[in-house]
Amino acid sequence: MSKGRKTDAAALLAEELSGLRALVEETARQCELNMKARIDELLHILESHARPLDPVAVEKLARKVSRVRGKPQRGRAKDLKRIHDILDDLDRRLVDEPA
């Protein structure tokens, strides 16, 4: 491979990596906004007493949420997955289930 071709390939890779970085930033931003909106919706349901909730079930859900742990400083996808999964469960139990 000629020196010029190596430089072109390196420039192409650098450009693609810059695009990937932008994709990561936008995806992370959207993920954060979506999760916060879901949490706000759940808080609204709880605070408005919009539907009857079983106190025992709500206590179990609170314990489940309190056990969600992560290491935000490490920025791992599995930590976001845990939060996403608990929000899915809360959505099913508080939003989707009939009153």
pLDDT digits (tens, 9 = 90+) for 80-89: 999 999 999 9
Identify the DSSP state of 95.
I
Q: What is the pLDDT of residue 27?
A: 95
Q: How confident is the model at residue 37 (pLDDT cuts 50, 70, 90)?
A: very high
Q: How many CB atoms lie within 10 A of CB 41?
A: 15
Rounded average pLDDT over 62-73: 87
- 90 pLDDT band, cuts 50/70/90, is very high
| Entry pTM | 0.79
String of DSSP letters for 10-73: HHHHHHHHHHHHHHHHHHHHHHHHHHHHHHHHHHHHHHHT-S---HHHHHHHHHHHHT----GG
Q: Do residues 65 and 86 make contact, with C-beta atoms less than 8 angstroms apart?
A: yes
The whole-number pLDDT of residue 77 equals 87
